[in-house]
Amino acid sequence: MQIGVLRAAAVLVGATLLCAPAHAQLEIRQPKVEAGEVELEYLGDYHFQRPRRRSIEASPGAFVFDDNEFNRQRHTLEMGYGLTSWLGLRFAVEAEQARFEDPETLARANAFGELKVTEIQVEGTIVLVPAGKHGFAAAALIEHNIALERGEAHQLFLGTALQYARGPWSATANLYVVKNIGGREERDGALIKDERWDFQYAAQLKHKVNDSFAVALEAFGVVERLGNSGTKSDERVLLGDFDRHLLGPVLYYSWGADDDRAAKKSGKGLRVRNADADDKNGDKDGPRYSLGAGILFGLNDNTSDVVLKWTLGVEF
């Protein structure tokens, strides 16, 4: 199993050197890895009441439209694997329905193209401070988003997952600096590479009601162009960069194998003496499923007023 996963990892990491995409999903990364665990996850989001596109008539009949990178809907399939207790890998394929980049006319300014696969994501999690039921935990996050469309920029995410847990409460923050790599844009009639640095975050305050049900308040956002980095395109010179921020409640429900199955495998924990009974019930090493759904609200004019997000995952 480990050899097969390592081979797949090598193939995908090698692809990052040959291929050469865009936003992280609306997801909270946890600062933990379980050796040998496989996780499959589907994530989706859909935007309502999207911000209208800004434009300037640069010359009679010729318009310049803003470069606010925007999707109507997005869907991601992910697979994660714990190589060790401190190192995990995750691979994902993302499809999105994006707004036309160069609409050319006012009638198409707010129109969207077809839903299509746009990028591959490769991510590593390195646990620095292991998570427990209480206290502080931390992990380093490294992600490379690989654009599948010619001319689109790659993105390299360098970040951390920080968490503090006490009783049924936990607070988690994912903080990233994001390097835009390559891509082609136009300025004064010449092709340029912007390659700016951005800041991106995802934060969650969660209360675990019981072993299956949890409620959370989540926030997501991006601040474009840190320290005046990169080279602005014509659109960004005229209409600026675009910070985006979302906040809202999310509900989570999980069922299946117990969370303490790792302790049972290692012979630790108070319930190990019931392991035989658990084996008969099929719960010890069985999969655990999770379902999440929430409503996020835009906090500025560059963001949709309402975004629905949902997740469906299985761990085994």
| pLDDT tier at 130, thresholds 50, 70, 90 | very high
Using DSSP's 3-state secondary structure scheme, residue 275 falls into: helix
Q: Residue 97 carries which side chain, given as an amino acid letter?
A: Q
Tens digit of each residue's pLDDT (9 = 90 or more) over 242-252: 999 999 999 99
Name 190's Cβ contacts closer than 8 Å, sequence gap at least 6. Answer: none
| Residue 172: CATH number of its domain | 2.40.160.40
Tens digit of each residue's pLDDT (9 = 90 or more) over 207-222: 999 999 999 999 999 9
pLDDT above 90 coverage of the chain, percent: 61
Give the pLDDT of residue 24: 56
Q: What tokens appear for 163 in the block?
A: 């968490």
* More reliable by pLDDT, 26 or 4: 26
Tens digit of each residue's pLDDT (9 = 90 or more) over 87-126: 999 999 999 998 887 777 777 788 888 999 999 999 999 9
pLDDT at 172 over 50: yes
**Domains identified in the chain, total number:** 1
The gap between the terminal CA atoms of the chain, to the nearest Å, is 13
| pLDDT tier at 310, thresholds 50, 70, 90 | very high
Helix or strand (DSSP H, E) at 204: strand 197-208
Name 247's Cβ contacts closer than 8 Å, sequence gap at least 6. Answer: 217, 218, 219, 296, 297, 299
pLDDT at 306 over 60: yes
pLDDT above 70 coverage of the chain, percent: 84
Q: How distant, in Å, are the alpha carbons of 56, 188, 244 from that of 237? A: 12, 11, 18
Sign of torsion over alpha carbons 35, 36, 39, 40: positive
Give the pLDDT of residue 219: 98
User: Which residue range is the domain that position 293 belongs to?
Assistant: 2-315
pLDDT at 127 over 90: yes
